[in-house]
Amino acid sequence: MPEFRIETDSLGEVRVPTDALFGAQTQRAAENFPISGLRFPRTFIQALGMVKHAAARANCSLGMLAEDKAEAIATAAQQIIDGKYDDQFVLDIFQTGSGTSTNMNANEVIATLANKAFCGKRYSRPIHPNDDVNMSQSSNDVIPTTMHIAARIAIERTLLPALDRLREALTDKSVAFDDIVKSGRTHLMDATPVRLGQEFGGYASQIAQGIRRLQDASGELEELALGGTATGTGINRHKKFPEKAIANLSGLSGLTFREAENHFEAQSARDAYVSASGALNTLAVSLMKIANDLRYLGAGPTSGAAEIRLPAVQPGSSIMPGKVNPVLSEAMMMTCARVMGNHTTITIGGQHGNLELNVMMPVMAHCMLESVSILAGACDAFRIRCIEGIEADRARCRELLELNPSIATALNAAIGYDKASEVAKKAALGRRSVRDVLREMNLLPEADIDAILDVRPMTEPGIPGT
């Protein structure tokens, strides 16, 4: 069997590997862009298969495509959806900015599979990759449509469930730790008391807000560019094609999609995509804060706060025996940094909606899907191997709180800010409790000291001692 076969396109002949399911245009792109080795992920290829499947069915129902051809194309596209031929999607992320090469990769592979089923002759062309598989479409509306579908599937099916599990785990800890009063900290310095449960409740609320933002972003991604064809005008497609095809896409994906209100906006701009990436970026900021806080609260075991104990999941040093590090927090922080970098790439990409077409779509799609994937994975690992196993050191929390000079804030209403400041300074200087200094200075009766310096009420609104 020869190593290559000869395929042709509008530029002439191309040598294509004999066993490849793709054709000339894919081969040219593979030769033109040997840049990174990065490929479109499974979710993107799945979504692209859905577009081709939905389009074939729509064209058939509108009398544009013969039923036998439509059936062959849809069957082949289903194989793409199912992941049977991912190895045939060989093109680099860094390619033509419209993603035309990848659209043609799909068209050629599906045409080959459909022809094999249609007439038993693998490389004969009763089904044409452009005329039939790409009917009523252009790369310029297919790729942005695929971007939205893939992102929504990834967000709805992978990231949002992982976030909800993390939110629930943080909420559980907020309940378990609600009776533990400890030093608050602002500017990393001692501040008025808080409950450890309140801190974890704040983390749970951050995740809940992130979920809401992502749900809103996913709603924006419901709008699809399909039907705009080359420039947003809809040339070369049936007037009812978007309606039919997008209804099919909703059925295939199990998610709701709708036609773009304005096809010129949907193809020339990627604003909804940038907005969704912004929600991921905000989520990364939240997760970075939570991961960092847990590092600070668990720092020790002797020279840091050490108010909580993080699970010991692996040895922390190749030279220091017994050292254990907050590795899950560090992994989360690196994940968040990557997501923030991806958002910068998507932001720059969104700026290149030049006239009627954005020309940085492949890299935007790659960054979006990577961000969703690594955030989901990091959230699950962080929850399972860190959050769920956190324990509180109640004795340590009491010890540090007793020496916290900011407890003197509770004295403001009783003895005034200036005198309370004097008490706080004297307590801090001597590493003594505010209670001891108050007694020494004979500023208040013992009963009033006990009432005012009861730390639990300090964690709620109100004036201490009243």
pLDDT tens by residue, 93-123:
999 999 999 999 999 999 999 999 877 665 5
Range in 1-5, 123-127, 186-190, 390-394 with the lowest mean pLDDT: 123-127
Q: How far apart are CA 411 and CA 407, in angstroms?
A: 8
Question: Which strand (E) or helix (H) includes residue 424?
Answer: helix 417-430
Q: Is the pLDDT of residue 124 over 70?
A: no
Which of the listed residues 135, 166, 192 is the one where a domain comes to its end? 135
Please classify residue 428 by burial: count the beta carbons closer than 10 Å to its beta carbon, then call 0-12 exposed, 13-18 middle and 19+ buried: middle
For the chain, the residue count is: 466
Residues 90 and 34: their CA atoms lie apart, in Å, by 10
Structural domain total, the chain: 3
pLDDT digits (tens, 9 = 90+) for 50-99: 999 999 999 999 999 999 999 999 999 999 999 999 999 999 999 999 99
Q: 292 and 158, same structural domain?
A: yes
Instruction: Give residue 119's pLDDT.
Output: 75
The residue annotated as part of the active site, out of 61, 98, 187, 268, is 187
Residues above pLDDT 90, as percent of the chain: 96
State yes or no: is 138 an active-site residue.
Answer: no
Proportion of the chain above pLDDT 70, given as a percent? 98
341 pLDDT above the threshold of 60? yes
Q: Is 411 in the same domain as 312?
A: no
pLDDT of residue 117: 86
Check: CB of residue 269 under 8 Å from CB of residue 347: no
Residue 398 in domain:
no
412 in the same domain as 352: no
> 268 and 216 in one domain?
yes
Within a 10 A sphere around the Cβ of 29, how many other Cβ atoms? 20
Whether 61 is in a domain gets the answer yes
Among candidates 346, 340, 352, 344, which has minimal Cα distance to 366? 346
| 379 three-class SS | helix
Q: What CATH number should be reported for the domain holding residue 63?
A: 1.10.275.10
Q: Which letter, b or e, does each residue of 56-82 get, where b requires 16 or more Cβ atoms within 10 Å of its Cβ? A: bbbbbbbebbeeebbbbbbbbbbbbbe
Across 307-331, b (16+ Cβ under 10 Å) vs e yields bbbbbeeeeeeeeeeeebbbbbbeb
On whether residue 275 sits in a domain, the answer given is yes
| DSSP state string for 116-150 | HHHHS-TT--SS-IIIIITTT--HHHHHHHHHHHH
One domain, residues 377 and 413: no
Residue 242 lies in a domain: no
Q: How far is CA 21 from the centre of its chain?
A: 33
**Is there a single domain that holds both residue 37 and residue 78?**
yes
Q: 14: which residues sit within 8 A by CB, 6+ positions away?
A: 6, 7, 8, 23, 24, 27, 28
Catalytic residue chosen out of the listed positions 98, 101, 218, 317: 317
> Per-residue pLDDT tens for 272-327?
999 999 999 999 999 999 999 999 999 999 999 999 999 999 999 999 999 999 99
Integer Cα distance of 48 and 80 in angstroms? 8
200 & 166 share domain? yes
- 299 and 322 in a single domain? The answer is yes
Q: What is the pTM of this model?
A: 0.95
Residue 317: active-site member: yes
Structural domain range at position 62: 4-135
Task: Answer for the pair 108, 134: CB distance below 8 angstroms, yes or no.
Answer: no
**Quick check: 246 pLDDT over 70?**
yes
**What is the mean pLDDT of the segment spanning 222-237?**
98
